[in-house]
């Protein structure tokens, strides 16, 4: 079926930015999509506005910002693949309004982050950063004071989602007691225990690890007020989002000895590219590990992300499947032999489906299969129609009121 698309594959323009995995690029090239451009860098808004005018599929990671102005210039854009966990770099409201499908890979690097958090907890609770620094400076610092085992300690997880839950399992394997807080009710894994508030978690935990999204509610979630509730001598790890922690307040808590260490991977402001100057209030503080947003940056994770997102983009392009979309409603449907498939995205108002069916019935166009799903903003209809009349059906559907996008798939 993929060889019988209604458009020349070499005319479908695909743009991948930010050094996306070669496996994603190869996926499309192997299936005949030869017009694929891969760049290692992000694009600023003005440059992207110019580049995206004839692009059908866009692949990005976390730095490229897809603003309303970018989407307004993307007249041919059908889908955006975010080759990362989050989608906050895309204006989802505007993408929804324009019927542009947005995919991401919410599960593909969970193991990479969870493993690293455990490793960081071991390093910090043993005060390895201080001993490492001393050894590099030629100072022998063999002592056990202030060094502890993870076994028997309490890990507090803020945000018990995909990463938090996997971290929970790994921590128990180390003999840790696990407690967590999430704004939604979550089924604990293993022996983990849910707490009623963030304060309940941080006041008990020897190690606190953050795994929350970046929202208005989580901005400066860890601030000078909440830091007062942390257990004396505890450790904070933030491998979630840069806006979640008030870094100057954290620096003061570390300098005062209220916390014994921290590991931070994400920051309110991050450099555009490797080699750029980077500053944070945490630089130079003892028992602090700073990493450059690499929590999920393993070769395995990038390959998994490349496979996941490229598969979603490919399935939408080839069969109209929108499972995993953050904009167009999710729909998975079988292929029907002997028919042509048309995709219709429209504003979710009463009467659109009736208008579609009335138009086709009036012109004696047989519908072999029909699927509809909606969200608050838009509706998504997939129609399999008689081959002989599919071109006429396409023209009729373009004229239906409230139509956003119509595409003949095959």
Q: What would the pLDDT profile of 144-185 be if each residue is shown by its tens digit?
A: 999 999 999 999 999 999 999 999 999 999 999 999 999 999
Q: Which fold has domain 109-290?
A: Rossmann fold (3.40.50)
User: Quick check: 117 pLDDT over 60?
Assistant: yes
The rounded distance, in Å, linking the Cα atoms of 199 and 228 is 10
Interval 227-237 mean pLDDT: 98
Confidence bin at 391 (pLDDT 50/70/90): confident
Residue ranges matching CATH 3.40.50.720 in the chain: 1-104+299-328, 109-290
Asked if residues 17 and 61 have their Cβ atoms less than 8 Å apart, the reply is yes
pLDDT digits (tens, 9 = 90+) for 11-65: 999 999 999 988 888 889 998 899 999 999 999 999 999 999 999 999 999 889 9
Asked if residues 372 and 381 have their Cβ atoms less than 8 Å apart, the reply is yes
Asked if residues 165 and 172 have their Cβ atoms less than 8 Å apart, the reply is no
Q: Residue 1 has what pLDDT?
A: 40
Confidence bin at 2 (pLDDT 50/70/90): very low
The rounded distance, in Å, linking the Cα atoms of 136 and 143 is 16
| 137 contact partners, CB below 8 Å, separation of at least 6 | none
Asked if residues 384 and 341 have their Cβ atoms less than 8 Å apart, the reply is yes
Buried b (16+ CB within 10 A) or exposed e, 343-371: bbbbeeeeebbebbeebbeeeebeeeeee
The rounded distance, in Å, linking the Cα atoms of 361 and 209 is 59
Confidence bin at 4 (pLDDT 50/70/90): low
Residue ranges matching CATH 3.30.70.260 in the chain: 338-409
Active site amino acids: 241, 270, 293
Which CATH code is given to the segment(s) 338-409? Answer: 3.30.70.260
User: Quick check: 294 pLDDT over 70?
Assistant: yes
pLDDT digits (tens, 9 = 90+) for 323-342: 999 999 999 888 888 889 99
Q: What's the per-residue H, E or C state across the chain? A: CHHHCCCCHHHCCEEECCCCCHHHHHHHHHCCCCCEEECCCCCCHHHHHHHCCCCCEEEECCCCCECHHHHHHCCCCCEEEECCCCCCCECHHHHHHCCCEEECCCCCCHHHHHHHHHHHHHHHHCCHHHHHHHHHCCCCCCCCCCCCCCCCCEEEEECCCHHHHHHHHHHHHCCCEEEEECCCCCCCCCCCEECCCHHHHHCCCCEEEECCCCCCCCCCCECHHHHCCCCCCEEEEECCCHHHECHHHHHHHHHCCCEEEEEECCCCCCCCCCCCCCCCCCCCCCCEEECCCCCCCCHHHHHHHHHHHHHHHHHHHHHCCCCCCCCCCCCCCCCCCCEEEEEEEEECCCCHHHHHHHHHHHCCCCEEEEEEEECCCEEEEEEEEEHHHHHHHHHHHHCCCCEEEEEECC
Q: Residue 131 has what pLDDT?
A: 96
Q: What are phi and psi of 76, to 5 degrees?
A: -105, 0
Q: Residue 6 has what pLDDT?
A: 66
Interval 282-289 mean pLDDT: 97
Which CATH code is given to the segment(s) 1-104+299-328? Answer: 3.40.50.720
Confidence bin at 3 (pLDDT 50/70/90): very low
CA nearest 374: which of 341, 404, 342?
A: 404
CA nearest 208: which of 190, 226, 196?
A: 226
């Amino acid at each position: 079926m993929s060889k019988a698309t209604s458009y020349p594959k070499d005319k479908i323009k695909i743009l991948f930015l930010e050094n996306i995995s070669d496996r994603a690029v190869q996926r499309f090239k192997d299936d005949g999509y030869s017009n694929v451009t891969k760049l290692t860098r992000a694009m600023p808004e003005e440059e992207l506005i110019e580049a995206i005018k004839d692009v059908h599929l866009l692949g990005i990671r976390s730095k490229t910002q897809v603003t309303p102005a970018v989407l307004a210039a993307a007249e041919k854009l059908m889908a955006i693949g975010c080759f990362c966990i989050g989608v906050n770099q895309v204006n989802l409201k505007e993408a929804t309004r324009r019927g542009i499908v947005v995919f991401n890979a919410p599960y593909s690097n969970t193991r990479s982050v969870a493993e690293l958090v455990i490793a960081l907890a071991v390093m910090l609770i043993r005060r390895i950063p201080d001993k490492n620094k001393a050894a590099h400076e030629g100072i022998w610092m063999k002592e056990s004071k202030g060094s502890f085992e993870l076994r028997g300690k309490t890990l507090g997880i803020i945000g018990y989602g995909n990463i938090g839950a996997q971290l929970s399992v790994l921590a128990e394997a180390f003999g840790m007691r696990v407690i967590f807080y999430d704004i939604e009710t979550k089924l604990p894994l293993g022996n983990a225990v849910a707490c009623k508030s963030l304060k309940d978690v941080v006041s008990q935990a020897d190690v606190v690890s953050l795994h929350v999204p970046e929202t208005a509610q989580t901005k400066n979630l860890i601030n000078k007020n909440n830091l007062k509730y942390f257990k004396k001598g505890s450790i904070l790890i933030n491998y979630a989002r840069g806006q979640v922690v008030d870094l100057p307040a954290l620096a003061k808590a570390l300098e005062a000895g209220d916390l014994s260490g921290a590991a931070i991977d994400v920051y309110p402001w991050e450099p555009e590219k490797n080699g750029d100057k980077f500053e944070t209030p945490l630089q130079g503080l003892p028992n602090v590990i700073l990493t450059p947003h690499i929590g999920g940056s393993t070769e395995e994770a990038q390959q998994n992300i490349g496979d996941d997102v490229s598969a979603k983009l490919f399935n939408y392009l080839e069969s109209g499947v929108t499972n995993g979309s953050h904009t167009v409603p999710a729909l998975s449907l079988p292929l029907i032999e002997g028919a042509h498939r048309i995709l219709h995205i429209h504003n979710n108002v009463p009467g659109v489906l009736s208008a579609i069916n009335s138009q086709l019935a009036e012109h004696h166009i047989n519908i072999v299969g029909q699927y509809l799903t909606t969200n608050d903003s838009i509706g998504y209809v997939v129609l399999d129609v008689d081959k002989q009349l599919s071109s006429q059906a396409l023209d009729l559907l373009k004229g239906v009121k409230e139509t956003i996008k119509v595409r003949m798939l095959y």
